[in-house]
Structure 1
Amino acid sequence: MTSPERSNEDQDDSATSVAAIESQKENIVPLPQGRSASQLSSLLQFASPARHARLAERHAEFAREVEGAADLDDPLEVHYRYVRWIQDNYPQGQSAESNLLPVLERLTRSFRQDRRYRNDPRYIRCWILYAQNISDPNVVFEYMQVNDLGQDLAAYYEEYSIHLEEIGRINKADELYRIGIERKVEPLNRLRRRYKEFLLRHTDSPED
């Protein structure tokens, strides 16, 4: 049995969706889990006053939740949920409307002295996201190292090494991968795999 042909209206909607994504793709910040085309299209096409009002209302709700988070067993959870919500609803990332950077600044600052979260993957993801949204990520990565934040997690070594590789500090990136492997950070197999990929890219690279 053949599938019914799509109507012209459906085809027009699909074309509009693709056009909306294509026109904004350079501004869309990728997520580790990816984004669906339908979700992206919806977010990019329907920036109506009503939607802006709903988003502003949700920001206010999260702000109230964050204010009361200190009394929770896991106060980081509310902050982290807020960050994830921003990522889901603002595919362009940091902007005056998304408020991503101030939210990350508050989250990272709030739990700096809380030993529970020093190697919590959620907390470290937010530090890394913060680093990716400022002009000099080295400042954040070095702060994390000095303050023993994320030093048992592969993500720290992977993301810092990627940044170092991007700015041409190949030897430093190589050293960082090896430190993480020697420390047997988790997940270790993933870090080893990323290091092998790095070595394949730079087998004949000159030293930095």
Structure 2
Amino acid sequence: MADSGIEIEKVEWLDPEMEFLATKRETGNEWELFKENVRPLKRGRKVSILNEALKVHNDNQLKISRLDQRRLLIQAIDEYKGEDPLHPWLECIKWVQEAFPPGGDSSGLVVIYEQCVRTFWHSDRYKDDLRCLKVWLEYAENCVDAQVIYSFLDANEIGKTHAVFYISYALLLESKNKMKAANETFNLGISRNAQPVEKLKDAYRKFIARSMRKSKAAEEDPMEKHLPTRSFGTVLSKGENRKLGSSDLLRNNLKADRDRVLAPINIYKESNSVDVGSRYHPDVPKTDLNSWHTLGPRAERNKENNAIPTKWTTYKIPQRPGSRTRGAGASSTCIEVFVDEECEEKHRMNVEEGAKSSTVQLRLDEERDLKRETELLREDPLRNFPPNSLPR
């Protein structure tokens, strides 16, 4: 066929990785460099958006523009005049989740969660809104004790018509080993016909199966504890335990092992200890070998304190004349303080724009206060709510 002059074209199919390497692009692989720092989302992430968000690790200007974009989204919440006030909040939350892949306290996401739910918790329009309920559940995932959030939702009848509320609440109780309370939560949701009810019933069947496995494992644990032990501490298997015979033989073996453990330990005492000491120390008299049996008089016990303090040495280290003067002059010189360019730029922009209040009350230029507020909300997620709204 080579002589016929017919050329056969070879078509090579490249996988996505080889195709990317063939393009020889320098950017677009930020996901591979920082993927261990990316927080997963239930809805997933787009790689293109994720790569753009991860570029801020190497570009300070992108960091500043990201903060500016967050400020604009917060201002859009204040300026919204539409029919759905929850919509700009959801847009802001979604953008922060995408723009700050690692999450963390500096993203301000927890503070935005708290401000959003505190704005709409008393609104009858959004009590059964699934979007608002999902914000509550995401806020609960970022708190130390999420049960405080679920108790608040139950007391104020928020999200009671949705199955996801009962499923999440029951799973939380199950994780705390409160199986009875979790079972009651599932039954409550089914009795209220929370939608979708088939999803709720399916989750309840899986919960019952897990509960039965746990109870069966708990019944087998005490039996394993009564198995005889070998001398090296391993537990005999069930097959070997069956070969031992009746339970009386097992009880006798356990009693023998217990008596052997409780038996006193005999301490070896050497009868000719004095002779052995004199054998290795022939010059020391026998009375000195047993001197440790007595404490001796007070003067002998305090013999280390009898020495009179004297001068250690008469040598004086020579010093150069004028060294103290130069040291004082050196300390008086000013030390140049390093100022981060990013902080200086943000301070300049803050002075130019002026202080602007927001409903969210996020002071974006004070990351330290933002982190502190996030930590407080994690510990006490309802700290800013009115006392009459809290569950009793």
After the TM superposition, which of the residue ranges 125-134 and 9-18 deviates more from structure 2?
Answer: 9-18
Q: How far did residue 83 of structure 1 move?
A: 1.0
Q: Do the aligned partners of 2:34 and 2:54 also contact (CA within 8 Å) in 1?
A: yes
Deviations 1:96-139 (A, max 9, x none): 2x111111111111112210000101110111111111111111
The residue number in structure 2 matching 1:52 is 63
Q: Do the aligned partners of 2:96 and 2:109 also contact (CA within 8 Å) in 1?
A: yes
Q: How does 1:109-188 map to 2 (within 5 A)?
A: 109-188=118-197
Counterpart Cα distance in 1 of 2:183 and 2:25: 49
Counterpart Cα distance in 2 of 1:157 and 1:100: 24
What SS is found at the alignment partner of 2:70? helix
Q: Name the amino acid aligned to 1:81.
A: E
What SS is found at the alignment partner of 1:205? helix
Q: Do the aligned partners of 1:119 and 1:150 also contact (CA within 8 Å) in 2?
A: yes
The residue number in structure 2 matching 1:101 is 110
Counterpart Cα distance in 1 of 2:212 and 2:32: 39
Bigger helix share:
1
Identical-residue share of aligned pairs (%): 23
What SS is found at the alignment partner of 1:131? helix
Q: Pick one of 18, 36, 45 that aligns with 2:32.
A: 18
After the TM superposition, which of the residue ranges 42-51 and 192-201 deviates more from structure 2?
Answer: 42-51
Q: Do the aligned partners of 1:177 and 1:191 also contact (CA within 8 Å) in 2?
A: yes
Q: TM-score, normalised by structure 2?
A: 0.47
What SS is found at the alignment partner of 2:125? helix
CA 1:32–1:43: 2 relative to 1, 3 Å: same
Q: 5+ residue gaps in structure 1?
A: none
The residue number in structure 1 matching 2:85 is 75
Q: TM-score, normalised by structure 1?
A: 0.85
Q: Do the aligned partners of 1:94 and 1:133 also contact (CA within 8 Å) in 2?
A: no
Of structures 1 and 2, the one scoring higher in RCO (CA 8 A, sep 6+) is: 2
Counterpart Cα distance in 2 of 1:74 and 1:16: 36
Q: Name the amino acid aligned to 2:143.
A: I
Counterpart Cα distance in 1 of 2:52 and 2:207: 37
Q: How does 1:34-53 map to 2 (within 5 A)?
A: 34-47=44-57, 48-53=59-64
Q: How far did residue 156 of structure 1 move?
A: 0.9
Count residues with an aligned counterpart.
Answer: 201
Deviations 1:36-74 (A, max 9, x none): 4454444335422122112111111111111123x4311
The residue number in structure 2 matching 1:200 is 209
Q: How far did residue 160 of structure 1 move?
A: 1.3
Q: Which has the larger radius of gyration?
A: 2
What is the RMSD of the two structures over their aligned residues, measured on CA atoms? 2.5
Q: 5+ residue gaps in structure 2?
A: 1-10, 217-392
